Each structure stands twice: as structure tokens, then as C-alpha cells.
Chain A
Amino acid sequence: MSISEKLPNIETRTVVALVEDRPGVLARIAGFFRRQGFNIESLAVGKSEKIGLSRMTFVVEGPPDVIGLVAAKLDRLIEIVEVTDITDQNFAYREMALIKINADEKIRGEILQLANVFRVRVVDVGTEEMTIETTGDSKKINSLIELMNQYGILEIMRTGRVAVLRSSLEINKKKES
């Protein structure tokens, strides 16, 4: 459950930014969020299709009257080449999780069966434990985690959200209107 579901005066925004790939850039962005009092729910960074530029997806939470300006304010940072608050647009997003669970040979089969329903992949198997990998939206990952809890989860590693705008129709319509 994210904070936004708990507190009515907190809003969550998903922001995608294309940034120069240089030392100190992430510190500037993180410093900006800290000054504004925004909480970073998740942050994903990786190289983009353009040389020297990385693409970041942030999910940030803050008071509605301030967080609405998050993209405009981030754009003040010199190293941010493009930034869009995509929250109110049609976007596709995924999250990945690696989950290590107790799995001795007696229950391994049962887990694998369940895992199939969720279309997860097995990454690693040991004598007493196994690690599975899943991709999807946060809801799907939360359900899987809940399900795996009965076996005893040893470790969870989640990536946070990566997002892209869905192409086409909707955006073009928006531009026209």
C-alpha cells in the first residue's frame, strides 16, 4: 500500500525524465525532491536510446497543490533534457520483482504450480529455497507476494516502476484538442 492510499492530502505522480548521464545528476534530482518534501516511492534509471542520456521514471508523493508543479520545477535543472508528468496520460508501466522463498523439495512443486498462474520465471533453485522473477503492475506483484507469504519469504527485491506513454491515438487527440 502506498502512502497515497493512506492519506487523502497526498497525491502520487509518475514522472518520466530524459537526463544527461553525468555524475551528480541524481543528487540534484534527489535534493530537489527532499527540499520540496516529496517522498520518492520508486525510482528507476537506465540508459536511453540516445547516447549520453539516461531515462528515469520516478513515482513521487506530495501534497496536491505542490506536486502538480513537479515536472515544471524539475525542468529547471540544467541536466534534465525532457521531463513529463505522465500521471494523467495513458501510459504503460511495469515493475519487476525477485522473490526468494523457502522451498524445500516437498513444497517446491506446489510453488511452481502457483507460480505458473502468475507466469513467473524461476531464476534460481537451492536445496531449501528458490528465487522467482515476476513482471507486472504493482497489484499483480503484491498479490504474488501475499500468496508466497505462506511459504515464508526470505527476501524481496523490487525495481520500482518503469513507464512509457502509450503511442498514438490518445496523445494525438490531446495535441489536436
Chain B
Amino acid sequence: MTKKTGGQIVCEGLLKQGVDTVFGIPGGAILPLYGSLSQFPDLRHILVRHEQGASHAADGYARITGKAGVCFATSGPGATNLITGLATAMMDSSPVVAITGQVARPGIGKDSFQETDITGATLPVTKHSYLVMDPKDLARVIKEAFYIATTGRPGPVLIDIPRDVFAESIDFDDSIWDEPIDLPGYHPPTIADFKDVKSAAKLIDSSKKPVILAGHGVIISHAYRELKDLAEKCQIPVVTTLLGISSFPEDHILSLSFPGMHGVAWASLALHEADLIIAIGSRFDDRITGDTKRFAIRSKKIHIDIDPAEINKNIKIDVPLIGNVKDVLNQLNPIVEQKTHQDWVRTIEQMKADHPSLRIKETDDLLGQHVIKAIFEETEGKAIVVTGVGQHQMWAAQHYHFYTQNSWVTSGGLGTMGFEVPAAMGAQVGKPDHNVWSIAGDGGFQMTMSELATIVENNIPVKFAIMNNNHLGMITQWQELFFDKDYQANSYTANPDFVKLANAYGMKSRRVERQEDLKDAINEAEEHPGPFLIDFIIKKEENVYPMIPSGQSVEELMEEPI
């Protein structure tokens, strides 16, 4: 037995869980934890400028490393500022562990200074949460929190710890770290029912027009090899969801890119024409299905997912395979027949020829598409690309071709503007040797750009590409197409000079206004050892195509009027 404070137990627990970096910002209630930090030099603390930045950074770190990302915030406003980040992580199944300070135990429930019921407030946006009222529970809770966050379908876990629990000193027995985790209500499935696997194999063997719909679950369970094996053995074309991008190499002959609202036409059409869809670790999001009554009605569906509650949630499933994607594919792959689908592949080739979704129109103007294409070419498809939500995100998904596993980080489910700045910071910290490009709109960038200070302070070499059209581009597009061009609150007439802004933070930067300067600027950013910002002035009122309007089907597909 040794005497340890709550704060020391938390730090020790984080190290035992393999944590090397924490993103956070202190405040009164969490100060006793910061008081312990100096005794744990192996825990790197990155001081952010806003708690939302800490939660997105932890999320970006988590997605790119597969380990839990950790953030600290104080009680009250510190904790509530995390909520957007937790909701983002929840929607995209990302393992974030948030540790918040709470007012001291005697002050709870008394409207004390900076008191918020954060476990209550975050109930719908966390996989699980704890309020630790006894320092004796801390070690167990830390172990459980990381286990819950990273296993099964990953998700954020919040641990709320009162100030005096951090400060209290208790007799601590180190053997508690080795005690097994006992969660009687939590047993994530691994392998699927073998009878179901056989039924799935039978469907695959008899299908003539199969398509794989590969989602984030492939990346989470590291099933890249297994996905490729299945696709190649049965010659099945692979469509990835938005979050499934980079689960399957986009230079592979069977790769069909992503479908849905702004996906490429042939991916949506392939799903529409298919006689079998094998959904792997994806959740039939409304951005993919549109009108569920008209989505892929000709096909049978096999759904591989670790979360039983996803089965039949949006789309009726014929054969559910509940289990870990990697394990289930290892059950399935050996028993499916080797096959080819020449007619089907030819049909899809024709779809590609008839619908050249990625053709960029001839113009001297600088378009967002040009910028992405140039970044793709100069980084040879090997960069880690991080985006927020909006037009820049869709152009990046379309025109960057991902050749590297798990190299695409985007806020897909929640669609969080501002995600791109801190999440890129987190991704870069997680993979310091990789090129990380944060693709941002001028709107989203301004939501979290205070983290530029953090990035410069810690010399985190993220490259920023602002797709600057002085507009909320997607808003403008929707107002043009669906609100009779009644443009409201869509234009930013007083944007700062982003080049000067970066310089003010001490970051190198330059502006690009012409297509011919793209290559040089991108290479300058790539070669610069530190962070770099490029302000790309792109054409205004340029729409993202193709587009399937919300709630409709591929039959209403709108294509670029060229």
C-alpha cells in the first residue's frame, strides 16, 4: 500500500492505458489533476485554446492511431465546450476518453461556481460516462473507460471527477491495476453465427451483380486485408461510405469510390442496380440511402456489423452477420466461391463512361476541385487528409484518391464545421511522420482557428488548405437549388486576410489565386518543416456535383451542367 492522490491515480492509469498525449485546458475544478501532471513526464499535455479543440484533437488522434484519444477539461463551461467534440466522436464511433473536473463533492447540486451536470448533459453523446465520487473507484473506472471506448463499436466515454476526489490521498494497492475488468452487461460480439455465415456465402455465390459497401467498421477493425481478399476472390466491386474512404485502395480496379448525396454517379448506380449488397461496418446513413423506400430495391442485403441495433435500423436486411468485421470476414472468406462477374463489371464501366462525375469543367478560374486534384497529385495520394463539413469536404472525398489505409479523417455523421483544424492537429500528433493536410472551408476554419496558436506553439507541421470563396458554399448551393436563389446569411463579406492571420500566429503562409500556382505553393508547404497555410481563393457559387437531393433517390441524380 502506498499513499496516492486521485490525481496521481488518474495519471498513472492513463500511462498504464498506453496514453502518451493529452489535449486539454485547465480550470479550477481540474487543477488538482494538473498538479499531478509534473510527476508524470511521459504524459505529454498539449495546451489547446478551446475545449472543443481538445475534443476534436483527441478524436483526430484516435481515428488515425486506433488508440483512445484523451482530453481534459474543467467543470462547467470547460466541460460543456467538449460536447460538440463528443457528439462528433459518438456519431463516427471514435474512441475518445474525456476527463472533466467537477466541483468538490460537498458543492455538487448547490449551483456552485462552474457547476454543470456534465454526465447528465452528455448522456446522449457518449457511449458511457462516470461520475467518480470515491477516489477508490478511480483505477477501476479508468480501466473500464478505456476498455469501453476502444472495444466493440468504439465511442466516447466521459469521466467526471470532483475536485476533492483528485486531491484526496488514499491508501492505494498497485495490484488493482491487474484486476480483471468486470462488466456483466458489456460483451461485444466477435464472430457471427456460423449458420448466418453460410447463408451469406450462399447469397454471394449465387449473386450476379454484387456490390460491397465498406464502411468505417473496416478501418476500426483493421480488416483491410480481409476486405481486399473477399473483393478479389469473388471479384466484387467495392463502394466505400464517406467514412469508409481509405478502407480500400482507390487505385484498385474494383474500387468504385463513394456513393450517395455527393458521391460519384456510378457508385450510387451500382448500388441501385445490384442484386446483392454486402454492407460491412456501415450503417445505411440517409446520405447514402436517400429515400429508403427506393434504395437498392432490387438487391438482397447482407449486413456485417458489431452493433446488433444497426441491423434493420434503416434498411431491411436479409442476412445479418453480427460480429467484429475482421473476424466475420475471416469466417466468410474461406467458404465463398471464387468467381468473376464480367457482365456486371462491364455494366459498371459503362456507367462510368456515361456519367463522368469527376470530370472538371474547362475554365481558367480556380475551382475547389483543382485545388484538391493538385494536392492529390503532389502528395501522390499518400497524405492524411482531414476535413470539416461542406463543399470542401465533398470535393476532397471526390478528387483526392486515397491509396493509403486509414488516411481520411472527416466529420461524417455529425457534420461538424470546424472539426478540420483541431482534428488535423490530433492526427498529426498521432502520426508525426506523415503528411497531414487539413482541408478547410473559410467558414469552418473560422470556428476553430484559435488552435493555430496551439499548432505553432507545439510546431505541429499540419498543412492547411483554406478553400476560400467568402461563402458558406454548401448553404449557397442549397439556397440556389432548393430555395429559389433566396440567398440568406450565406456570404462572408469581412473575412480576415488568412495569410496575414497565419503570419500573426507565427505560421508561414501564402495565397494562391491561379491554377498555374497550385503546384508550386503545395510543394512549398510540403517542403516546409513546420505548419503552413495556403489561402486558395476559389471561384464563388460553384456547386458540388453530382447531387442526389435530400430524401430522394439516384433516379433524381443531378449532374454538372457542362
Residues of A within 8 A of B (CB): 19-20, 24, 27-28, 31, 35, 53, 68-69, 72-73, 75-82
Q: Among B119, B127, B148, B312, point to the contact of A69 (Cβ < 8 A).
A: B312
CB-CB < 8 A to B313: which residues of A? Answer: 69
Asked if B124 is at the interface (CB within 8 A of a chain A CB), the reply is yes
Binds A, one of B179-187, B228-236, B492-500: B179-187
| A24 and B309 form a contact (CB under 8 A) | no
Number of A-B contacts (CB under 8 A): 37
Q: Among B119, B128, B309, B312, point to the contact of A78 (Cβ < 8 A).
A: B128
A-B pairs with lowest CB-CB distance, top 8: A72-B309, A81-B185, A73-B309, A72-B308, A81-B184, A78-B128, A31-B123, A80-B185
Q: Among B123, B148, B185, point to the contact of A20 (Cβ < 8 A).
A: B185
Distance in Å: Cβ of A50 to nearest Cβ of chain B: 9
Interface string of B89-131 (1 = CB under 8 A from A): 0000000000000000000000000000001100110011001
Asked if B311 is at the interface (CB within 8 A of a chain A CB), the reply is yes
| B185 and A24 form a contact (CB under 8 A) | no
Can you give 22 A-B contacts (C-beta < 8 A)? A20-B184, A20-B185, A24-B119, A24-B131, A28-B123, A31-B123, A31-B124, A35-B124, A53-B184, A68-B312, A69-B309, A69-B313, A72-B308, A72-B311, A73-B309, A76-B127, A76-B307, A76-B309, A77-B185, A78-B127, A80-B185, A81-B184
Residues of B within 8 A of A (CB): 119-120, 123-124, 127-128, 131, 148, 183-186, 307-309, 311-313
CB-CB < 8 A to B148: which residues of A? Answer: 78
By secondary structure, the A interface counts as: mixed
Distance in Å: Cβ of B140 to nearest Cβ of chain A: 13
Closest chain A residue, CB of each to CB of B292: A65
| A27 and B123 form a contact (CB under 8 A) | yes
How far apart sit A77 and B311, CA to CA, in the bound complex (Å)? 17
How far apart sit A20 and B123, CA to CA, in the bound complex (Å)? 17
How far apart sit A35 and B313, CA to CA, in the bound complex (Å)? 15
How far apart sit A55 and B558, CA to CA, in the bound complex (Å)? 53
Distance in Å: Cβ of A83 to nearest Cβ of chain B: 9
Closest chain B residue, CB of each to CB of A52: B184
How far apart sit A75 and B310, CA to CA, in the bound complex (Å)? 12
Distance in Å: Cβ of B327 to nearest Cβ of chain A: 19
| B309 and A75 form a contact (CB under 8 A) | yes
Distance in Å: Cβ of B183 to nearest Cβ of chain A: 6
| Most chain A C-beta atoms within 10 Å of own C-beta, residue among B131, B185, B308 | B185
Closest chain A residue, CB of each to CB of B157: A78
How far apart sit A71 and B124, CA to CA, in the bound complex (Å)? 17
| B185 and A78 form a contact (CB under 8 A) | yes
| B185 and A19 form a contact (CB under 8 A) | yes
Distance in Å: Cβ of A26 to nearest Cβ of chain B: 12
CB-CB < 8 A to A24: which residues of B? Answer: 119, 131
How far apart sit A158 and B148, CA to CA, in the bound complex (Å)? 38
14 other A-B residue contacts (CB within 8 Å) besides A20-B185, A69-B309, A78-B185: A19-B185, A20-B184, A28-B123, A69-B312, A69-B313, A72-B308, A72-B309, A72-B311, A73-B309, A78-B186, A79-B185, A80-B185, A81-B184, A81-B185
CB-CB < 8 A to A79: which residues of B? Answer: 185
Distance in Å: Cβ of A64 to nearest Cβ of chain B: 12
CB-CB < 8 A to B120: which residues of A? Answer: 27
CB-CB < 8 A to B312: which residues of A? Answer: 68-69
Distance in Å: Cβ of A66 to nearest Cβ of chain B: 9
CB-CB < 8 A to B311: which residues of A? Answer: 72
CB-CB < 8 A to B186: which residues of A? Answer: 78
CB-CB < 8 A to B124: which residues of A? Answer: 31, 35
Closest chain A residue, CB of each to CB of B183: A78
Closest chain B residue, CB of each to CB of A77: B185
CB-CB < 8 A to B127: which residues of A? Answer: 76, 78
Distance in Å: Cβ of A54 to nearest Cβ of chain B: 12
Closest chain B residue, CB of each to CB of A76: B309
Closest chain B residue, CB of each to CB of A17: B185
How far apart sit A8 and B298, CA to CA, in the bound complex (Å)? 29
CB-CB < 8 A to A20: which residues of B? Answer: 184-185
CB-CB < 8 A to A81: which residues of B? Answer: 184-185
CB-CB < 8 A to B308: which residues of A? Answer: 72, 75
CB-CB < 8 A to B119: which residues of A? Answer: 24
How far apart sit A80 and B185, CA to CA, in the bound complex (Å)? 5
Distance in Å: Cβ of B151 to nearest Cβ of chain A: 11
Closest chain B residue, CB of each to CB of A69: B309
How far apart sit A28 and B123, CA to CA, in the bound complex (Å)? 7
Distance in Å: Cβ of B408 to nearest Cβ of chain A: 26
